[in-house]
């Protein structure tokens, strides 16, 4: 304490001289700082790196997992691009979203979907590394379980899957992008894809994939199919579609298996006027870089999940910086291929550049 008191007393004696000296010193520092700032201007760097996840198969459908960067050829809007980043993504964290159609047309296959989905998540997710969430959609879109690595929470959410109570009116008023629920009427497939992509996936980094179990028939979304696909593309999310169709679910005149339709089944959509669910799901999967699967006697849902699991564990990640000639805001087409002609590459066909 003594040295401190001595310094304090000494500082009081030449007070004005010290103040003048300090002001002069401050001016020198300020002048020097301004001079350095003029000599070393701040440079702002904004580099857009486009990441592309890809799966490769041979002509027999077997997954190829031993390729290197030089085995690929990449173009954007028809212009060759230099692949700057390359890795095999099987060991990197995965963000997975499961979207389950619980509309009346799925009521007879819901148990199969629930059981197979739990087995898939149980095998696919690695503790403290991967995360998953579960959404169901019918007249409403509802997040049953937010992102978690807990198998117990995911199993509990899957147990909640059930077809809607038609005696209860659908909730209204919500807007796409709300976190928990929004709805109106019909089957909200497109709204569900938008909600999962824009409200959940867009905030995450790394590998991201959605899996949809549905017959592909949307009869009530506020948003369009194109908007749903765009939301997945902007979120850098691939979307696997599993077509699980129960032909007996739709009566001749609609009504989801209740002859003649009527109020009980909301039979407003004759089968002849329903959208082609398979074409819808093909479009979603292809434009986001994933695949469409169709459940059948030869290909049960358990086998489909096995194939998806194999792909997700054997992906390639390629990154590039677009050249200046293509660096404009908006949508850009991507074409990724291998130099080996008999191999097929599965990857998204474009991305949106923000400004």
Strand-pair partners of 73 = 337
CATH number for the domain running over 94-312: 3.40.50.410
Task: Summarize pLDDT for 160-185 with one digit per residue, the tens.
Answer: 998 776 555 555 544 444 344 555 55
CA distance 230 to 351: 9
Task: Summarize pLDDT for 66-101 with one digit per residue, the tens.
Answer: 999 999 999 999 999 999 999 987 778 899 999 999
Task: Summarize pLDDT for 251-287 with one digit per residue, the tens.
Answer: 543 444 433 333 333 444 555 567 799 999 999 999 9
Strands 207-214 and 238-243: parallel
Give residue 166's pLDDT.
Answer: 56
Over residues 337-354, the mean pLDDT reads 93
Task: Summarize pLDDT for 126-149 with one digit per residue, the tens.
Answer: 888 899 999 999 999 999 999 999
The residue among 293, 242, 280, 238 whose CA lies nearest residue 54 is: 238
Structure tokens at 110: 């819901």
Task: Summarize pLDDT for 6-46 with one digit per residue, the tens.
Answer: 333 333 334 444 444 544 545 544 444 444 444 443 333 34
Task: Summarize pLDDT for 282-304 with one digit per residue, the tens.
Answer: 999 999 999 999 999 999 999 99
Contact present, 254 and 271 (Cβ < 8 Å)? yes
For the chain, the straight-line distance linking the first and the last C-alpha, in angstroms and rounded, comes to 60
Give residue 165's pLDDT.
Answer: 63
Provide Rg for the chain, Cα atoms. 28
* CATH number belonging to the domain at 50-89+315-353, selected among 2.60.40, 3.30.70, 3.40.190, 2.40.128: 2.60.40
Which segment of 105-109, 131-135, 225-229, 330-334 scores lowest on mean pLDDT? 105-109
């Amino acid at each position: 304490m003594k040295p401190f008191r001595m310094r304090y007393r000494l500082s009081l004696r030449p007070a004005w001289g010290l103040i003048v000296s300090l002001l002069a010193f401050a001016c020198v520092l300020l002048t020097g700082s301004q001079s350095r700032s003029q000599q070393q201007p701040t440079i702002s760097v904004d580099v857009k790196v486009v990441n592309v996840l890809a799966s490769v198969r041979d002509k027999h459908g077997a997954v190829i997992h031993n390729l290197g960067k030089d085995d690929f050829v990449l173009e954007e809007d028809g212009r060759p691009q230099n692949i700057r980043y390359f890795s095999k993504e099987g060991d990197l964290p995965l963000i997975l979203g499961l979207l389950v159609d619980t509309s009346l047309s799925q009521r007879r296959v819901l148990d199969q979907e629930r059981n197979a989905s739990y087995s898939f998540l149980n095998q696919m997710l690695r503790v403290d590394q991967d995360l998953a969430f579960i959404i169901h959609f019918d007249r409403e879109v509802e997040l049953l379980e937010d992102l978690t690595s807990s198998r117990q929470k995911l199993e509990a959410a899957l147990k909640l899957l059930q077809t809607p109570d038609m005696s209860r009116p659908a909730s209204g008023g919500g807007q796409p992008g709300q976190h928990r629920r929004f709805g109106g009427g019909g089957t909200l497939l497109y709204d569900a894809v938008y909600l999962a992509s824009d409200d959940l996936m867009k905030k995450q980094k790394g590998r991201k994939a959605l899996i949809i179990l549905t017959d592909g028939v949307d009869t009530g979304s506020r948003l369009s199919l194109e908007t749903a696909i765009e939301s997945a593309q902007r979120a850098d999310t691939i979307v696997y579609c599993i077509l699980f169709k129960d032909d007996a679910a739709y009566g001749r005149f609609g009504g989801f298996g209740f002859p003649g339709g009527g109020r009980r089944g909301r039979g407003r959509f004759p089968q002849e006027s329903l959208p082609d669910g398979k074409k819808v799901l093909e479009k979603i999967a292809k434009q986001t870089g994933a695949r469409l699967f169709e459940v059948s006697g030869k290909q049960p849902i358990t086998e489909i999940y096995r194939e998806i699991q194999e792909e997700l564990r054997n992906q390639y990640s390629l990154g590039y910086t677009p050249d200046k000639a293509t660096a404009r805001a908006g949508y850009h087409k991507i074409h990724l291929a291998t130099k080996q002609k008999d191999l097929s590459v599965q990857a998204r066909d474009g991305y949106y550049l923000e400004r």
